[in-house]
Amino acid sequence: MFLPENIDLAQSEKYTLSIRLMPDGFSFCIFSPADKSVFHYQEKTFSKNLSLIGNIEKTFFEVNFFSQPFKKTFVTIVSPRYTIVPDAYFEWRKAKELFEFNIHGESGKVLNNYISESSCRILFDLDEEVYSFLCRNLWNPSFFSHKARLLPFFANYRVVDRRKRCFVDFHDEMVSVTCFSGSTLLSANTYPDKDKYDALFNIVNVWEKQSLDQNSDLLVLSGNLPDNKESIATLKKLIKNVEELNLLPPGNENYIPTDILLDMDAC
């Protein structure tokens, strides 16, 4: 597999490996926390003829360096199957019970991330077989919900503003919508965005439910902006204060998921 010349996997311990599991695909990123010019991102679409674990096993066979000892190894689960629990009400032994109370359907391995900026836990799940395989085949992996990558950044962005802030991240035929008032988290949800008006309907619905003011409050857009120009144009007609975040590394014009870019900044 092609990698840039400035990535030497004989010295893998110098790099961070960030793996991203989407509903219908897989991506990975290798980068150096000490040198922002060292960066490689690659995506792979899953075969519909294989199960989830079958696709992941096939990918690991093809990309045979994932098991090397990287400085850090992250696994980000991109899914709307998460729920947020204030840390004061979180109990480790009841994590699965809390998750299943809020999320319908049979759960897999229930994991959680602590978000210090909002004093809360994000509970999310991952297929048990996939979790076991990744733990065996990766070097000391840390697991995250994609929402756990977004929340700390959003919580601190323009936090001194008195107006409410709504953050919309377009990604993976989904839209993640997060609202804050000052440092207080108001809501955090991820919706499907496969049909033309899905994103607009859900964003407008959130603004109405959270009593955001379209003339004074702030809408911040990130993620796959090029593929959502029509929705963005409509939002700018409806909402007065709209910002677009460009978090791409210098010289890179291709879409890279926001959670991957925030991984880089956090290291």
68 belongs to a structural domain = no
pLDDT in tens, 225-235: 999 999 999 99
223 belongs to a structural domain = yes
For the chain, where are the alpha helices, taking DSSP H only? 52-62, 95-102, 128-137, 146-156, 198-209, 229-238, 258-266
pLDDT of 262 higher than 60: yes
Q: Give residues with Cβ within 8 angstroms of 261, minimum separation 6.
A: 247, 248, 249
173 belongs to a structural domain = yes
Query: Is the distance from CB of 70 to CB of 15 less than 8 angstroms?
Result: yes
Amino acid at 123: L
Place of tokens 């978000």: 115
pLDDT in tens, 87-96: 999 999 999 9
**Residue-level pLDDT at 1:** 59
10 belongs to a structural domain = no
- Give CA separation, 233 vs 25, 171, 237, in Å: 29, 17, 7
pLDDT in tens, 136-181: 999 999 999 999 999 999 999 999 888 999 999 999 999 999 999 9
Q: What is the CA radius of gyration of the chain?
A: 19
| Residue 109: pLDDT band with limits 50, 70, 90 | very high
CATH number at residue 204: 3.30.420.260
224 belongs to a structural domain = yes
**Which helix (H) or strand (E) is 190 found in, with range?**
strand 184-192
230 belongs to a structural domain = yes
235 belongs to a structural domain = yes
**Pairing, β 174-181 against β 164-171:** antiparallel
Query: Is the distance from CB of 29 to CB of 248 less than 8 angstroms?
Result: no
Amino acid at 36: K
Please, what is the average pLDDT of the chain? 93
> Residue 51 and residue 110: Cα distance in Å, rounded?
20
pTM of the shown model: 0.94
Domain that holds residue 170: 159-244
Residue among 192, 191, 186 at smallest CA distance from 211: 186
> Residue 3 and residue 139: Cα distance in Å, rounded?
20
188 belongs to a structural domain = yes
| Residue 223: pLDDT band with limits 50, 70, 90 | very high
Q: What is the DSSP letter of 71?
A: S
The number of distinct structural domains making up the chain is: 1
> Residue 6 and residue 143: Cα distance in Å, rounded?
27
> Residue 218 and residue 195: Cα distance in Å, rounded?
25
Distance of CA 233 to the CA centre of its chain: 24
